[in-house]
Amino acid sequence: MQGKSPSERMKWSSVIGTILRRGASNLVGLSTPPILGETAAPLANLISSSNAPISWKFLVGSPSFATAATASAVFHASTPLQFNRSFSSSAGSGSSNVVLIKTEEEFNSSLKDVQDKSLPAVYYFTAVWCGPCKFISPVVTQLSKEYPHVPTYKIDIDQEGLNSVLNRLFITSVPTLHFYQNGKKAAEIVGADVNRLEETMEELYGKD
């Protein structure tokens, strides 16, 4: 995948994951190839217990692409229940405080404002083709209502002209969230980890 932009590499990984998920039931069944027989189940358990995304680096760098493929097929199996518990328990209301960032200039301007004025902010890097992003986006929106003093800047990595931003911030997987407090980056989350997202928001912004 050399020569491709970060967003192209991440999209390629997502496409691979989508194809593999359609045949996931065959990967850990009677038709499981020998290369997967001893590793598929443990790896499935490991990935299903985590909400981390499967990035292009994981797919390409894995000792066995087939093993990585199995992980991509099952990594999100445990998240719907967790999402339902968390989202249904949210009591926040009000207007969403999500701001769409469409250009590098808008991103740089927002970040400069946050840094110069020592403001709190959340930067949410996402993509329309990203399954975990679709899962966590409603939670991000809900939390933006619960913390109206903290703007959430939503960045679609496929927007033209954002490659330099993605490279500068080392964005290699989506969803990725950067949390700023007093104008400085205070935390980062990679993956659709709802519990960690809620805890981070409360820890950083709950007392403001």
The pLDDT score that the predictor gives to residue 30 is 38
Q: Which of 43, 130, 169, 192 is catalytic?
A: 130
C-alpha 147 chain-centroid distance: 20
121-126/152-156 β-pairing: parallel
What does the pLDDT look like over 5-59, one tens digit per residue? 666 666 666 655 554 444 443 434 433 343 333 444 444 444 444 455 645 444 3
Indicate which residue of 40, 44, 122, 133 is catalytic: 133
pLDDT, position 64: 37
User: What are 106-141's pLDDT values in tens digits?
Assistant: 999 999 999 999 999 999 999 999 999 999 999 999
Sorted by where each starts, the structural domains of the chain and their CATH numbers stand as 6-77 (no CATH), 82-205 (3.40.30.10)
Could you give the dihedral angle defined by the CA atoms of residues 114, 199, 188 and 67, in that order, rounded to the nearest 10 degrees? Answer: -150
Give the amino acid at 8.
E
At 150, the pLDDT band (50, 70, 90 cuts) reads very high
pLDDT at 12: 60
Structural contact between residues 119 and 187, judged by C-beta atoms closer than 8 angstroms: no
3 class by beta-carbon count within 10 Å (0-12 exposed, 13-18 middle, 19+ buried): exposed
Query: Using CA atoms in the order 123, 82, 88, 94, what is the torsion angle rounded to 10 degrees?
Result: 0
How many whole angstroms separate alpha carbon 187 and alpha carbon 17?
28
Residue tagged 């229940």 (tokens): 81
Q: Whole-angstrom Cα distance, residue 170 to residue 159? A: 16
Share the mean pLDDT of the chain. 73
Q: Is 130 a catalytic residue?
A: yes
Residues 6+ apart with CB under 8 A from 56: 1, 9, 10, 12, 13, 172, 173
